[in-house]
């Protein structure tokens, strides 16, 4: 296992980290990873972490459905139904800020969101480094392998549960910012490690998803990070289905095999999380930022 340490906080430049918790990779390897917290801006990070070269093996799993789109269990089918509903919700949210124009989905996976965006009249392109995911995207949709390949400028750039996977946080945001048209907006969705379900499940919270999640954001560090790049957060929105999804996964980590009681408990915790989350402390948050 080849790991690298992060010695400087990418949000505030601080160099002092304290122990936050140890979490297990429940999806691929069963290995344990340490989470540290910056003593200054409170950013939580997986540290040490696999390098960009060694992290690939942690994505090889049948259960990593966001990349395969597969799976035939009841849970997978519910997941897909909810996903299509949330795609419509995301597009309605974007439309509050911009009429359909050019859109780039960074980390577009198997392209479900892009498909929805194109249907609603967006001229949409994606970036996806995984060749397995790219192979499943409908022909005719414009996909780049990496950020450096991207051509043109965009009215909207979206990152749906992507930024927490990105090693090169600041260079990536610098590039994304440069790809925005004047008045363009960035939509960044990430898990929120200060949500009710995060504190309820502790180290077993599925939102930590180590070591694939390198950064574990809360509002303050995220707002600062974006503003470092000239992106001011205009609004923070909750993703109400994520609390259920993450709670169900967390229950399965806690009590492997007890599907039915996990389903019940996960739903209750998800509901409780949403009820306590108002106005903006939901399990996952969408940060809407513009220059
Ligand atoms: Zn910091």
- What is the whole-number distance in angstroms between the Cα of residue 27 and the centre of ligand 1? 28
DSSP state of 255: S
- Cβ-proximal residues to 155 (8 Å cutoff; 6+ apart), any chain: 98, 101, 102, 103, 180, 181, 183, 184, 185
How many angstroms separate the alpha carbon of residue 221 from the centre of ligand 1? 7
* Nearest one of 58, 53, 51, 67 to 26, comparing CA atoms: 58
Q: What would the DSSP string read from start to end of 48-89?
A: SEE-TTGGGGGG--TT-HHHH----SHHHHHHHHHHHHHHHH
Centre of ligand 1 from the C-alpha of residue 12, in Å: 4
> Residue 70 has what pLDDT?
62
State in Å: Cα 58 to ligand 1 middle: 26
Chain-centroid distance, C-alpha 174: 18
45 Cα–ligand 1 center, Å: 10
Largest CA distance in the chain: 52
Helix or strand run (H / E) with residue 286 = strand 284-290
**pLDDT score recorded for residue 225:** 98
Going from the Cα of 137 to the center of ligand 1, the distance in angstroms, rounded, reads: 37
From the CA of 144, how far away is ligand 1's center (Å)?
Answer: 32
pLDDT at residue 155, as a whole number: 98
Q: Distance between CA atoms of 90 and 104, rounded to whole angstroms? A: 14
The Å distance, Cα 5 to ligand 1 centre, comes to 15
Could you tell me the distance, in angstroms and rounded to a whole number, from the CA of residue 43 to the centre of ligand 1?
5
Which residues are close to ligand 1, an ion, with C-beta < 5 A? 9, 11-12, 14, 38, 40-41, 43
Strand order in the sheet with 102-106: 142-144, 123-127, 102-106, 154-160, 180-191, 284-290, 232-238
Q: In angstroms, what CA-CA distances link 193 with 5, 212, 282? A: 21, 15, 9
Distance between CA 49 and CA 212 in Å, rounded?
9
How many angstroms does the Cα of residue 231 sit away from the middle of ligand 1?
18
Q: How far, in Å, CA of 234 to CA of 241, rounded? A: 22
Q: What is the value of pTM for the model shown?
A: 0.93
- Radius of gyration of the CA atoms of the chain, in A: 18
Give the pLDDT confidence score for residue 265 in this predicted structure: 95
Q: Is the dihedral of CA 33, 36, 42, 43 positive or negative?
A: negative
Separation of CA 176 and ligand 1 centre (Å): 21
- Ligand 1 center from residue 242 Cα (angstroms): 26
Render each residue's pLDDT in the chain as its tens digit; 291 residues: 689 999 999 999 999 999 999 999 999 999 999 999 999 999 999 999 999 999 988 987 655 545 445 677 877 787 788 888 899 999 999 999 999 999 999 999 999 999 999 999 999 999 999 888 898 888 899 999 999 999 999 999 999 999 999 999 999 999 999 999 999 999 999 999 999 999 999 999 999 999 999 999 999 999 999 999 999 999 999 999 999 999 999 999 999 988 889 999 999 999 999 999 999 999 999 999 998
Distance 142 CA to ligand 1 centre (A): 36
């Amino acid at each position: 296992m080849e790991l690298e340490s992060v010695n400087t906080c990418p949000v505030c430049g601080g160099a002092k980290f304290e122990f936050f918790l140890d979490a297990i990779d429940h999806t691929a390897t069963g290995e344990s990873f340490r989470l540290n917290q910056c003593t200054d801006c409170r950013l939580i990070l997986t540290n040490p972490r696999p390098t960009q070269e060694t992290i690939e093996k942690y994505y090889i799993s049948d259960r990593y459905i966001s990349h395969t789109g597969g799976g035939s269990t009841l849970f997978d089918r519910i997941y897909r139904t909810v996903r299509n509903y949330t795609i419509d919700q995301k597009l309605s949210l974007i439309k509050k800020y911009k009429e359909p124009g050019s859109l780039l989905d960074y980390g577009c996976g198997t392209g479900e969101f892009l498909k929805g965006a194109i249907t609603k009249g967006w001229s949409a392109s994606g970036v996806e480094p995984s060749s397995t995911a790219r192979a499943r995207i409908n022909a005719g949709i414009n996909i780049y392998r990496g950020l450096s390949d991207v051509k043109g400028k965009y009215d909207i750039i979206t990152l749906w549960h992507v930024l927490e996977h990105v090693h090169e946080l600041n260079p990536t945001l610098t590039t994304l910012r440069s790809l925005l048209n004047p008045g363009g907006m960035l939509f960044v969705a990430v898990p929120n490690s200060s949500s009710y379900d995060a504190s309820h499940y502790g180290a077993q919270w599925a939102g930590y998803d180590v070591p694939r999640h390198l950064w574990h954001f809360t509002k303050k560090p995220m707002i600062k990070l974006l503003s470092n790049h000239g992106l001011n957060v205009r609004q923070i929105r909750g993703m109400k289905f994520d609390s259920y999804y993450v709670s169900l996964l967390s229950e399965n980590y806690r009590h492997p095999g007890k599907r039915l009681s996990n389903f019940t408990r996960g739903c209750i915790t998800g509901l409780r999380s949403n009820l306590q989350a108002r106005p903006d402390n939901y399990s996952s948050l969408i940060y809407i930022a513009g220059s």
